[in-house]
C-alpha cells in the first residue's frame, strides 16, 4: 500500500520539507511524495532587492523545483480547495480549466502569504510589490522607465515626480529595497544628462518610531543614519493613507507627487486557510510543538501558515530561517509517523538577523554579536550565498556580483508586457470555446460569427441557445462561481473578445446597468436550463 505525502507550496517551508522527505524515503517505493506550487521554481527571496536593482539577473535566484527535488512528483498549479474529510487536494489542471484531485495520507501546508492592500484606498491599484521574481523584474524596468521619461520631460514638476521613489514599510524588505534602488539610480544617473541629482528623491515611510524594529535599537539607528547620509528621507510614525497614480497621501497630511510607490507591507494569510475547519491564530493555523494540527491526523503546517508555540507561550515568527528548520522537523516527524517513532518538538532560538543597506553597507546580529558597515555587508552576501540552494546558482550569483564590481549597471529597459488587456481569439466551425465542466475563468463577447450553447448530459446533447455577433456568454460560471454548465462551440468562423475573472468582477460589481443585465441573463439561462 502506498503512503501519499502532499506538500503545498514551493517556498522555504514547502521546498525544504519535500527535499528532506525525498532524502529520508529515498529508495522506498511505498511512499509517494508530491509538491504543488504555482510556479515551477523556488525563489530565494532575500536577494529580490538586488534583482530589482540590477545587481543579479532574475533567473539566477530561481531554482527549478523539478531539478531541486528529484524523486518528488511536481505539479505546477494553483490549489483550488482542500477536503480534510475525504483527504483530497483539488488543483487546477490544463491551464486551470479542469480540476484534478490529489489524495493524501499526510498533507503539509506551506502556502506562504499573499499581499492584501484592500484596506488602504488606491494602494492595491497603484503600488508595486516585491514578492517574486516577476515583481523584481517589473520594478527594475519601471524605475529605468521613470528615468527615461524624466530625461525628456520639460515640465520641472513632472520630472521631479518621475524621479521620486517612495517605499512604504521600514522593516527588512523596505530598507533593503530602498537601499538597493538608491544605489542603482546613483550609479546610472550620469547617463541621464537632463536629470540633476537634486531632482532625485527617495522617501522611506514607516509607521513606527524607528526603522528595522526587528534588530536592536543601535543597529536600527545606524541603518537610519547611513540611509540619510546617502540622501534617503525617512518619515517615522507616519502611515500611508491613500494613493493615486500620481500622488501618495500620508497620515500627517503630507502629499508626495510620485510615479513610483513600492509597498512592502500588507502581507496577509493565504485565504485558503480560512476554508479549513482547523483553529486559527491571527490567520495562521494553530499547531502543536511538533507542527501537527491537533485533531487532524496527517495534517501539518509550518512557516507563514503556522502558529507554532514557543516555550514562553508566544509563537515563532514566520521567517525564512524558522521555516527551513521547521521543514526539517516536519519531515522527520512525518517519517516517525509512518515508520514508527516519537515526534520531536520544534525548538530553535535563531542564529541572527541581517539587513543589507545597499552601497556595500549592512547591519547584522549574529550569535549575539552586533556588526555594521562593510563587514556586515560582506557577511550578508557570504551567508546568503551559502544558503542559496544549488552550487550552480551559487556560482552564477557570485559571477554576477563580480561583474557588478567590474562593469556598469545594465540600463536596458525590457518591455515584456502586452499592450492590450483584452484578449481576442478566432475559432473555426466545430471548435469548442469553453467546455462543460471547466473552471470558469473568462467572460466572452462575440465579435463576428455564430456559436451554439450545448448541454452534454444525457443520451443526446441538447442545444440550449444559438448566439451571434454582439451577444455574450460565460457569465454564469463567473457570477455563481461554478464550473461551466454547458459547452459553447463555433458554428462558423467566429471571433471573440474575452476578459479575465478579476476584470469581469470589477465591471459587474461597479456598473449597475451591466450588473442588472448580467443577473437578468443569468436568471433566464438558468431557467431555460432547468426546463430542458
Task: Please state, in angstroms and rounded to a whole number, the distance separating the CA atoms of residues 283 and 296.
Answer: 18
Looking at residue 109, which CATH number applies to its domain?
Answer: 3.50.50.60
Q: Where in the sequence is the domain holding 490, given as residue range(s)?
A: 423-531
DSSP for 199-256, written as a single string: G-EEEEE-SSSSS-TTS-HHHHHHHHHHHHHTTEEEE-S--EEEE-SSEEEETTS-EE
pLDDT band, residue 532 (cuts 50/70/90): very low
Is the pLDDT reported for residue 522 higher than 70?
no
pLDDT band, residue 120 (cuts 50/70/90): confident
Same domain (yes/no): 95, 137: no
Same domain (yes/no): 326, 474: no
* Confidence (pLDDT) at 259: 95
Tell me the pLDDT tens digit for each residue of 196-212. Answer: 999 999 999 999 999 99
Same domain (yes/no): 514, 451: yes
Same domain (yes/no): 259, 305: no
Task: Please state, in angstroms and rounded to a whole number, the distance separating the CA atoms of residues 186 and 179.
Answer: 11
Is 306 domain-assigned?
yes
Is 48 domain-assigned?
no
Q: Three-class SS string for 397-442?
A: HHHHHHHHHHCCCCCCCCCCCCCCCCEEEEECCCCEEECCCCECCE
Tell me the pLDDT tens digit for each residue of 467-489. Answer: 999 998 888 777 777 778 889 99
Q: Which of 298, 314, 348 is the last residue of a domain?
A: 348
Same domain (yes/no): 372, 484: no
Is the pLDDT reported for residue 463 higher than 60?
yes
Is 208 domain-assigned?
yes
Same domain (yes/no): 455, 361: no
pLDDT band, residue 419 (cuts 50/70/90): very low
Is the pLDDT reported for residue 347 higher than 70?
yes
Same domain (yes/no): 368, 389: yes
Give the total number of structural domains in the chain. 3
Is 195 domain-assigned?
yes
Same domain (yes/no): 225, 272: no
pLDDT band, residue 418 (cuts 50/70/90): very low
Q: Which of 348, 367, 384 is the last residue of a domain?
A: 348
* Confidence (pLDDT) at 420: 44
Same domain (yes/no): 141, 229: yes
Span 293-311, average pLDDT: 95
Span 32-40, average pLDDT: 96
Task: Please state, in angstroms and rounded to a whole number, the distance separating the CA atoms of residues 344 and 349.
Answer: 16
Choose among 14, 7, 8, 5: nearest CA to 320: 14
Tell me the pLDDT tens digit for each residue of 48-105. Answer: 999 999 999 999 999 999 999 999 999 999 999 999 999 999 998 766 567 899 999 9
Is 411 domain-assigned?
no
Q: What is the mean pLDDT of the chain?
A: 91
Question: What share of the chain in percent tops pLDDT 90?
Answer: 74
Span 146-170, average pLDDT: 96
Same domain (yes/no): 388, 445: no
Same domain (yes/no): 128, 237: yes
Is the pLDDT reported for residue 509 higher than 80?
no
Amino acid at each position: 500500500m502506498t503512503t501519499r505525502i502532499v506538500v503545498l507550496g514551493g517556498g522555504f517551508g514547502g521546498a525544504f520539507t519535500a527535499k528532506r522527505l525525498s532524502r529520508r524515503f529515498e529508495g522506498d517505493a511505498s511512499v509517494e511524495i508530491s509538491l504543488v506550487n504555482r510556479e515551477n521554481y523556488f525563489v530565494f527571496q532575500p536577494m529580490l532587492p538586488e534583482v530589482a536593482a540590477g545587481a543579479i539577473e532574475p533567473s539566477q535566484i530561481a531554482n527549478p523545483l523539478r531539478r531541486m527535488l528529484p524523486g518528488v512528483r511536481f505539479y505546477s498549479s494553483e490549489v483550488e480547495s482542500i477536503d480534510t474529510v475525504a483527504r483530497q487536494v483539488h488543483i487546477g489542471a490544463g491551464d486551470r480549466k479542469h480540476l484534478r484531485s490529489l489524495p493524501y495520507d499526510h498533507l503539509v501546508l506551506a502556502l506562504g502569504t499573499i499581499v492584501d492592500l484592500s484596506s488602504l484606498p488606491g494602494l492595491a491599484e497603484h503600488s508595486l510589490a516585491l514578492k517574486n521574481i516577476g515583481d523584481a523584474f517589473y520594478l527594475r524596468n519601471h524605475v529605468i522607465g521613470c528615468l527615461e521619461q524624466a530625461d525628456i520631460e520639460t515640465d520641472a514638476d513632472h520630472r521631479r515626480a518621475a524621479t521620486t521613489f517612495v517605499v512604504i514599510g521600514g522593516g527588512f524588505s523596505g530598507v533593503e529595497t530602498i537601499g538597493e534602488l538608491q544605489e542603482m539610480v546613483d550609479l546610472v544617473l550620469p547617463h541621464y544628462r537632463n536629470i540633476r541629482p537634486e531632482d532625485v528623491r527617495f522617501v522611506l515611510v514607516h509607521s513606527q518610531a524607528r526603522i528595522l524594529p526587528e534588530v536592536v535599537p543601535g543597529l536600527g539607528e545606524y541603518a537610519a543614519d547611513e540611509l540619510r547620509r546617502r540622501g534617503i528621507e525617512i518619515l517615522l510614525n507616519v502611515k500611508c493613507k491613500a494613493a493615486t497614480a500620481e500622488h501618495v497621501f500620508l497620515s500627517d497630511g503630507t502629499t508626495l507627487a510620485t510615479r513610483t510607490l513600492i509597498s512592502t507591507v500588507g502581507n496577509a494569510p493565504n485565504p485558503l486557510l480560512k476554508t479549513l475547519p482547523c483553529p486559527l491564530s491571527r490567520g495562521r493555523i494553530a499547531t502543536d510543538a511538533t507542527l501537527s494540527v491537533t485533531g487532524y491526523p496527517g495534517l501539518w503546517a509550518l512557516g507563514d501558515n503556522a502558529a507554532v508555540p514557543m516555550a514562553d507561550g508566544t509563537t515563532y515568527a514566520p521567517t525564512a530561517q524558522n521555516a527551513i528548520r521547521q521543514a526539517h522537523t516536519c519531515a522527520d516527524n512525518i517519517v516517525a509517523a509512518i515508520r514508527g517513532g516519537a515526534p520531536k518538538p520544534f525548538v530553535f532560538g535563531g542564529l541572527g538577523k541581517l539587513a543589507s543597506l545597499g552601497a556595500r553597507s549592512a547591519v547584522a546580529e549574529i550569535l549575539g554579536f552586533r556588526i555594521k558597515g562593510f563587514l556586515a555587508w560582506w557577511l550578508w552576501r557570504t551567508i546568503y550565498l551559502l544558503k542559496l540552494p544549488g552550487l550552480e546558482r551559487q556560482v552564477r550569483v557570485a559571477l554576477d556580483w563580480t561583474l557588478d564590481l567590474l562593469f556598469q549597471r545594465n540600463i536596458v529597459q525590457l518591455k515584456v508586457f502586452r499592450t492590450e488587456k483584452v484578449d481576442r481569439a478566432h475559432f473555426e466551425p466545430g471548435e469548442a470555446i469553453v467546455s462543460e465542466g471547466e473552471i470558469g475563468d473568462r467572460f466572452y463577447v462575440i465579435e463576428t460569427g455564430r456559436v451554439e450553447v450545448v448541454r452534454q448530459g444525457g443520451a443526446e446533447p441538447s442545444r440550449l441557445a444559438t448566439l451571434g455577433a454582439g451577444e455574450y456568454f460565460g457569465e454564469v460560471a463567473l457570477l455563481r462561481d461554478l464550473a461551466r454548465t454547458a459547452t459553447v462551440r463555433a458554428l462558423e468562423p467566429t471571433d471573440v473578445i474575452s476578459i479575465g475573472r478579476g476584470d469581469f468582477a470589477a465591471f459587474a460589481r461597479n456598473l449597475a446597468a451591466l450588473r442588472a443585465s448580467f443577473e437578468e441573463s443569468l436568471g433566464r439561462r438558468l431557467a431555460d436550463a432547468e426546463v430542458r
